[in-house]
């Protein structure tokens, strides 16, 4: 996904770590917020974890003068398309006020899915 974002938005910074105020812009953080065993797919040993429930939280930060909102939405659309291709479902997407620096526009989204032991993704 990072290479797709870098191709579409040269100079974008993509990280797997959360940042209150990114060092450069635009920035995207993609963080795995949940990875828990899907109880209904659990079996007796040795394959207890046949599937896991996954949730990723994505933050998009921009500070472009005059068009930061549209830039953030364009970036989020690219991210949304990539997660959809993988089989994830977007469960939330909202702008968030950045109280530490009002010049930064931020959008947060969450994507959920189920991955089996063969790394196939299923929607919840």
Q: Encode pLDDT of 18-41 as tens digits.
A: 888 898 999 999 999 999 988 766
Q: What is the arithmetic mean of pLDDT over 103-120? A: 92
pLDDT digits (tens, 9 = 90+) for 55-82: 999 999 999 999 999 999 999 999 999 9
What is the C-alpha separation between 102 and 117, in angstroms, rounded? 43
CA distance 106 to 68: 9
Residue 64's alpha-carbon distances to 24, 54, 74, 106, in angstroms, are: 11, 32, 13, 12
What pTM was computed for the model?
0.88
Q: What are the tokens at 121? A: 């993704």
Please tell me the number of Cα atoms within 13 Å of 48 on its side-chain side.
3
Which residue matches tokens 């299923």? 122
Sketch out the chain's domains with CATH numbers: 2-122 (3.30.70.1700)
- Give CA–CA dist 87/124, Å, rounded: 10
């Amino acid at each position: 996904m990072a290479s797709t974002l870098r191709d579409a938005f040269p100079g974008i910074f993509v990280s797997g770590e959360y940042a209150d105020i990114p060092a450069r812009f635009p920035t995207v953080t993609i963080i795995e917020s949940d990875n828990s065993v899907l109880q209904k797919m659990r079996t007796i040993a040795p394959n207890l974890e046949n599937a896991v429930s996954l949730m990723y939280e994505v933050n998009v930060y921009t500070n472009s003068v005059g068009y930061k909102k549209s830039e953030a939405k364009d970036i989020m659309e690219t991210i949304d398309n990539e997660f959809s291709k993988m089989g994830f479902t977007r469960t939330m997407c909202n702008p968030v006020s950045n109280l530490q620096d009002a010049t930064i526009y931020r959008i947060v989204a969450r994507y959920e899915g189920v991955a089996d032991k063969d790394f196939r993704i299923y929607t919840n």
